[in-house]
Amino acid sequence: MNQINPRKLLNSKWTAVKPVNKEKHFIITEVEFDEDGNVIYCLIEAIMSKRDRSIDWRELQNEETWRQGWK
């Protein structure tokens, strides 16, 4: 399980273990917090295609789907 500090999500880099549409490398471009400091919105962008989508940041903890950094 990837250990993630929600405060350090912004601009963090991720590699998809099983790329879809040849999109392998991603970066977190937007993170919003509620008044209690919990993540309520997270936007991830593919580096090559610049396509972005909303993601539940807890999905990034799954090592079978995501790896930290660009590998």
Chain position carrying tokens 């400091």: 37
* Structural domain contains residue 45: yes
- Domain tally for the chain? 1
| Angstrom distance (rounded) from CA 10 to CA 18 | 22
Residue 56 falls inside a structural domain: yes
Note down the domain range covering 41: 6-68
C-alpha 11/C-alpha 21 separation (Å) is: 22
Domain annotation covers residue 47: yes
- Within-domain flag for 40: yes
Please count the other Cβ atoms lying within 10 Å of the Cβ belonging to residue 30. 14
pLDDT, tens digit (0-9, with 9 covering 90-100), for 15-62: 999 999 999 999 999 999 999 999 999 999 999 999 999 999 999 999
Asked if the structure places residue 1 within a domain, the reply is: no
- Is residue 1 pLDDT above 90, yes or no? no
DSSP summary character for residue 18: E
